[in-house]
Amino acid sequence: NAGVTQTPKFQVLKTGQSMTLQCAQDMNHEYMSWYRQDPGMGLRLIHYSVGAGITDQGEVPNGYNVSRSTTEDFPLRLLSAAPSQTSVYFCASSPLPSGDQETQYFGPGTRLLVL
Amino acid sequence: AQTVTQSQPEMSVQEAETVTLSCTYDTSESDYYLFWYKQPPSRQMILVIRQEAYKQQNATENRFSVNFQKAAKSFSLKISDSQLGDAAMYFCAHLPGNTPLVFGKGTRLSVIA
């Protein structure tokens, strides 16, 4: 198993550009989520999904879109990048129900710089 | 809203000594999970230890143990015999039922040789 994979590892964007951060897992996990990590702020939840076709907003969803067409993939889209979106982005997955959700598996992170 | 508070932005410890990182949380749930994650400079998130709220016994994993005080909503991490490899950011996290993980802002631990 590859676990949770994220691409790219690092990306530089200009303000206003769009891009998609990819996240995939091969563990057949129902639950997937996106976090952003900023200095002194810990990890903050952007969006999450409890299964294919189901997504919901987290603490900081503005400026980001997600979709979940398959169990394996959970891409995060930035439609018009802003410097405030400069951050490190983590994708995570875990199985359901909640009794098994206690362990989340994290991807290696994507470092995004918006100029 | 669920919150997790780590009141120590930075801590340091001498090699081979013991250090305790503090964490408090706010929840209205009676059943939940608590975690400590370690993030070394590689940025990989590594699960250190977890605690189920319904268990009174404090979790232990080798040199890592917790002091779980449910009534006080406190969940501190004790690292014994500190090693240079323990230097990292440590995040406390709370899983309140079926909702996503909530993280604290982290504590940066330095280990002095």
Mutate to test the interface with B, among A5, A37, A46, A49 (most CBs of B within 10 A): A37
Which residue, among A1, A3, A4, has the nearest Cα to A110 in the 3D structure? Answer: A4
Count A/B contacts: CB-CB distance under 8 Å.
49
pLDDT the model gives residue A71: 95
Across the interface, do B100 and A48 touch by the CB < 8 Å criterion?
yes
Reported as a single tens digit per residue, the pLDDT across A28-52 is 998 899 999 998 888 999 999 989 9
Reported as a single tens digit per residue, the pLDDT across B55-99 is 888 999 999 999 999 999 999 999 999 999 999 999 999 987 667
Per the listing, tokens 């590594």 go with B46
State how far residue B3 is from chain A, nearest Cα, in angstroms: 11
Q: Which residues contact A99 (CB under 8 A, 6 or more apart)?
A: none
Partner residues linked to A51 by β-bridges: A54
Distance CA A67, CA A45 (A): 15
Across the interface, do A42 and B45 touch by the CB < 8 Å criterion?
no
pLDDT the model gives residue B65: 96
